Amino acid sequence: MRIAFVTIYDAKDIGNWSGTAYYMSKAFIDAGVEIEYVGGLKEISGENLIFRLRNFFYTRILKNKHGDYKSQYEPQNLKFIAGQVQKRLKELEVDIVFSPGAIPIAYLDTKIPIVLWSDATFAVMKDYYTCFTGLNKRTIKNCHSYEKKVLRNASLAIFSSEWAANSSIKDYGADQAKVQVIPYGANIECNRSENDIIEINRKKSREICKLLFIGQEWERKGGETAVRIAIELNNQNIKTELTIVGCTPPDNLFLPDYIHVMGFIKKSEKDGERIINRLYSDNHFFILPTIAECTPIVFSEANSFGLPVITTSTGGISSIIKNEINGRMFELEIDVPLCAAYIGGIFKNFDQYNRFSLLSFKEYMTKLNWNSSISTCIACLKKLL
């Protein structure tokens, strides 16, 4: 089987999209699938006269009173991107056109089967993520239009959660028979075994409960709530440390000395990978009380080290986290004392913690790794052929 792996960016660069396309395409190759990379696609410049005039109208004349205008979602731009893909396809012999995103294939005109693998639809992202909040009517219409078009043209639409898959059917009329749910894997190398997890846990502190928070968007990822949980644990006489990676808390937020801020760590570099692996090994729980999320790959990464995940029930998280198996979801308006008591109760009973950790690792090994996901995906692709 040979597939055209289509992305706007360079999928061979592990630094793009947190390495998801890199690990996804690598898993295809490892499974014996031939990959033709189609990437590095150009967009119509924002300096385009029509786009500039529209932007001037919405920002200067209307002063954004009716929402933000985004020229990148204009059909003219999406057709320009699709045109580059079509030109490249004429040079290739492939069985399937595959993309981990709707943008480059939305207006693609080809007789080759098109497959999408995404973590969301525009309908679920609208007014959910900040970058999709407060858009004007034209941009909203354009986004719904390209989403509907790609789902109509795709021979197979794969989503990483039931949340996104259900939206494709409910909001865009996608054919249920063409929709599949397959979780993403972990963007991290893992050759660990159950015995390795037992050994990692044996070396963990029994005196200090260590929480790990990784996220680049402080507010959306629930950084302040994570801090409050760490403080509450200490107030409940559970000596606790919280390590924050990926972002910097606001200057006006008081942080006790048991909260450590490490900033952004590039795990695509050897030193960064080593530090991240050490943090996953040293900590007891991965905590991300997020307020908006699709399906965080970082959960799979945490599980690959046997870390149970403490998070909230929002977006597509329930397709990844199973309560008391590989983590625990709390209500979006999280009850901090209740959450702290839950974490503390497990930490104080280390046999219980160890069982929880091994269940988390098992969930990674059976469902939340790229080899498993790609194997399921390939079986679906073969049916198309």
Model confidence pLDDT, tens digit, residues 212-259: 999 999 999 999 999 999 999 999 999 999 999 999 999 999 999 999
Q: Given the structure tokens 């500039």, which residue do they identify? A: 52
In the prediction, which pLDDT does 59 show? Answer: 79
**CA 123, 127, 132, 137 torsion-angle sign:** positive
pLDDT over 70 percentage in the chain:
99
Residues 18 and 104 both lie in one domain: yes
Instruction: Quick: pLDDT tens for 154-194.
Output: 999 999 999 999 999 999 999 999 999 999 999 999 999 99
Q: Do 142 and 232 reside in the same domain of the chain?
A: no
261 membership: H or E segment, kind and range:
strand 259-263
- In this model, does residue 46 exceed pLDDT 80? no
Both 157 and 207 in one domain: the answer is no
Query: For residue 64, what pLDDT is reported?
Result: 73
Residue 111: count of CB within 10 angstroms of its CB: 5
> Are residues 179 and 258 both part of a single domain?
no
Does 60 lie in the same domain as 155? yes
Q: What is the pLDDT of residue 65?
A: 72
How far is it, in rounded angstroms, from Cα 102 to Cα 72?
13
Is the predicted pLDDT of residue 60 greater than 90, yes or no?
no
Question: 154, 151, 142: which is closest to 172 by C-alpha?
Answer: 151
Q: What is the pLDDT of residue 267?
A: 87
319, pLDDT greater than 90: yes
| pLDDT on residue 48 | 79
pLDDT computed for residue 268 by the predictor: 85
Segment 93-152, tens digit of pLDDT: 999 999 999 999 999 999 999 999 999 999 999 999 999 999 999 999 999 999 999 999
Q: Check whether 294 has a pLDDT greater than 70.
A: yes
3-state SS class at 114: strand
Q: In the predicted model, what is the mean pLDDT of residues 349-370?
A: 98
Q: How far apart are CA 331 and CA 54, in angstroms?
A: 42
pLDDT band at 326 (very low <50, low <70, confident <90, very high): very high
CA angle at 278 for the pair 277 and 283, rounded to the nearest 5°: 105
Q: Are residues 341 and 298 in the same domain?
A: yes
Backbone torsion region of residue 236, taken as left when φ is above 0, otherwise alpha when ψ lies between -120 and 50, otherwise beta: alpha
C-alpha–C-alpha distance, residues 138 and 53, integer Å: 14
My answer on whether 380 and 337 are in the same domain is: no
Residue 125 sits in the same domain as residue 213: no
Whose CA is closest to 164, among 320, 381, 23? 320
Residue 77 reports pLDDT greater than 90: yes
Q: How many domains does the chain have?
A: 2
CATH number of the domain within which 246 lies = 3.40.50.2000
Residue 48, classified by CB atoms within 10 Å of its CB into exposed (0-12), middle (13-18) or buried (19+), is middle
- Answer yes or no: is pLDDT of 63 > 80: no
- Same domain (yes/no): 180, 217: no
Q: Are residues 149 and 245 in the same domain?
A: no
Same domain, 126 and 19: yes
Neighbouring residues of 349: CB distance < 8 A, sequence distance ≥ 6: none
Nearest partner of 122 among 180, 182, 73, judged by Cα: 73
Structural domain containing residue 253: 194-366
Contact 59, 87 (CB under 8 A): no
**Domain co-membership, 219 together with 153:** no
Residue 243, phi then psi, degrees to nearest 5 = -110, 125
- Calculate the average pLDDT of the chain: 95
pLDDT for 156: 98
Compute the average pLDDT of residues 295-302: 97
